[in-house]
A and B are shown apart, each in its own frame.
Chain A
Amino acid sequence: MKKITLKLFRYNPETDTKPHYDTYKLEVEPTDRVLDLLEKVKGYEDGTLSFRRSCAHGVCGSCAMRVNGENKLACKTLIQDIKSSKITVEPILGMPVLKDMIVDMEPFFDNYKKVMPYFINDDPKPEKEHIQSIEEQERFDDTAKCILCGACTTSCPSFWANDEYVGPAAIVNAHRFIFDSRDQGAAERLQILNDQFGVYRCRTIFNCTLACPREIEITKAIGEVKKAIATGSLD
């Protein structure tokens, strides 16, 4: 067992005018996750603590939050991987905080919808499936891993400065379809991203790549979209 001090960001819109931090002393296993700590506080110390969680296995993307100043999925962050015995958990940056760790994700999903993140193909339906080679599939293999947790977008200083910037997550999801050989909407998506709030807001800072819990090479994906816009070619 390990003794840790857990410092949690707290804000209740019904009672608080400004946020504050609450501190809890806990005994935890090194194999516990930050999400387990939050559950422990909610279950045994303060039932009003609010946070999003669903699958608790790094797939649904609900529990993105700042752990010791860095965007992480609470369900994938093990205590043994955190060097300090003091753990601070705060909501992700750049989104309006609704309560404690819960932020309003609407601006994030509004930006996501802008890039038309769905399959576009007006050809008559093939008899079986749309055929694609392994090489063609590998073009967007990495970006198809996105779980829309928002860790990348909310770690991006360009997004902090202006939430009209579509953000890394939306570009990653555009990339997933732009480079899909079966899709026919690439030109339209590239046009949407070739905008003052599109890909050129990316300053190649790399926060997104480092924050991604799925280890997607986000800055590389954005670079490939920038190149496709500049050259007019997907090769």
Chain B
Amino acid sequence: MALNRKVGFFKGLKYKGGGPMWAWVLHRTSGLAMVVFVGLHIIAGFLTQQFGSEAGIAINTIYENDIFQLVIFFLVIFHAVNGLRVVILDLITPLLEYQREAIWLEWLIIMALYSLVIFSVLHDVMMG
């Protein structure tokens, strides 16, 4: 009997698609992470309204944590810039020939924006 065609998550990740494939994987992951972040935000607001501020504050402390902020900002910036890259390449098809250069440009923009976030978060931590 033939083996099932199913390609599981980890089996798929082992395929060596290189930078563009990892950009797609991270795009999906960052999208999910943002759903979790916004979900926490909504739950915090709901709990505060229903049961008083104690419960809401407990959740707020998770996403107001500096590490959480650094991670979520990276994911939001990546998701936005990578999404723009894909939309631009999809709409202006002749640019698809320069997809490798587009990935480099994308990371340049991400690092520039993210360094501002790092500076801002570190500034807050140091100034208390």
B99 touches A219 (CB 8 A): yes
Residue A204 at the chain B interface, CB threshold 8 Å: yes
For residue B101, CB closer than 8 A to chain A, the reply is no
- Whether the pair B20, A13 counts as a contact (CB closer than 8 A) is no
B3 within 8 A of A: yes
Question: CB distance A226 to B90 under 8 Å?
Answer: yes
Cβ–Cβ contact B17 & A210, under 8 A: yes
- B97 is an interface residue with CB less than 8 A from chain A: yes
- Whether the Cβ atoms of B3 and A11 lie closer than 8 Å is yes
Pair B3/A69 contact, Cβ less than 8 Å? no
Question: Whole-angstrom distance between the alpha carbons of A70 and B97 in the complex?
Answer: 21
A197 interfacial by beta-carbon distance below 8 Å: no
Q: A13-B2, A157-B21, A223-B90 are in contact. Are A206 and B15 (CB under 8 A)?
A: no
Which of B1, B12, B21 is the one whose CB lies under 8 Å from A206?
B21
Residues of B contacting A13 in the complex (Cβ-Cβ under 8 angstroms): 1-3
The answer to whether B96 and A223 touch across the interface, beta carbons within 8 angstroms, is yes
Q: Are B3 and A227 in contact (CB under 8 A)?
A: no
Range class of the B interface residue count: 20 to 34
Q: Complex formed: what's the CA distance from A226 to B94 in Å?
A: 13
> Using an 8 Å CB-CB cutoff, how does the interface string of A137-163 with B read, 1 for contact, 0 for none?
000000000000000000101001101
- Nearest CB on A from B78, distance (A): 16
B86→A204 contact, CB < 8 A: yes
How far apart are the CA atoms of A188 and B44 in the complex, in Å? Answer: 52
B20 & A210 in contact (Cβ 8 Å cutoff): yes
Q: Is the CB of B3 within 8 A of A19?
A: yes
Residues of A with C-beta under 8 A to B3: 11, 13, 19, 96-97
* A68 in contact with B16 given A93-B11, A223-B93 (CB within 8 Å): yes
Check A205 against B89 for contact (C-beta < 8 Å).
Answer: no
Nearest CB of B to A77, in Å: 13
Chain A CB within 8 A of B24 CB: yes
Please state if B7 and A94 are interface contacts (CB–CB under 8 Å).
yes
Interface size class of A (residues with CB under 8 A): 20 to 34
Bound-complex Cα distance A149 to B101 (A)? 28
CA gap between A11 and B94 in the complex, in Å = 43
B20–A205 CB distance below 8 A: yes
Contact B12 A157 (CB under 8 A): yes
B5 within 8 A of A: yes
Are A69 and B16 neighbours in the complex by a CB distance under 8 Å? yes
In B1-51, which residues have CB < 8 Å from any A CB? 1-5, 7, 11-12, 14-18, 20-21, 24
Residues of B contacting A219 in the complex (Cβ-Cβ under 8 angstroms): 89, 96, 99
Q: Whole-angstrom distance between the alpha carbons of A84 and B93 in the complex?
A: 36
**A68 contacts across to B, CB distance below 8 A:** 16
CB distance from B110 to the nearest CB of A (A): 18
> Which residues on B sit within 8 Å (CB–CB) of A107?
5
16 residue pairs from A and B, CB less than 8 Å apart: A11-B3, A13-B3, A66-B15, A94-B7, A160-B12, A203-B86, A205-B17, A205-B20, A206-B17, A206-B20, A210-B18, A217-B96, A219-B99, A220-B97, A223-B93, A223-B96
